[in-house]
Amino acid sequence: MAGGSTPRSAAALPAALERIARRAPDVGADLRVVAEKLKEERSRQEAGRRQLEEGYSELAAMARRPRAFSLATTPLLERVGAECAKLRRLFAA
């Protein structure tokens, strides 16, 4: 992370703020508000990340569908073509 700080879990910073708030009663209420806002922001970010992952998963699934459709329909289209060829021969005779 920037500034030489180490990565922390999502709960580490709010917990640290809570510890400081207990030791510094004059700013404790403000620190608790900041800690709560931080928790809420992290929850929103996590929800956004999950939504983005779900979107990419859906997009990947949609990208595979045409290939599967093509594989399923190719034999049928070949059969229709063969039947059309038979009909042309019959009508030409």
CA gap 93, 82 in Å, rounded:
17
What confidence score (pLDDT) does residue 66 get? 81
What confidence score (pLDDT) does residue 4 get? 44
State the Cα angle at 34 between 29 and 38, rounded to 5°. 145
Asked whether residue 53 is assigned to any structural domain, the reply reads yes
Asked whether residue 4 is assigned to any structural domain, the reply reads no
Asked whether residue 2 is assigned to any structural domain, the reply reads no
Asked whether residue 88 is assigned to any structural domain, the reply reads yes
Asked whether residue 43 is assigned to any structural domain, the reply reads yes
Q: Which domain holds residue 42?
A: 9-92
Asked whether residue 83 is assigned to any structural domain, the reply reads yes
Asked whether residue 1 is assigned to any structural domain, the reply reads no
Compute the average pLDDT of residues 77-85: 93
Q: Which residue has the higher pLDDT, 1 or 39?
A: 39
pTM, to two decimals: 0.52
Asked whether residue 49 is assigned to any structural domain, the reply reads yes
Per-residue confidence at 11, pLDDT binned at 50, 70, 90?
confident
Q: How many domains does the chain have?
A: 1
CA gap 57, 88 in Å, rounded:
46
What confidence score (pLDDT) does residue 45 get? 94
Sign of CA dihedral 35, 41, 45, 47: positive
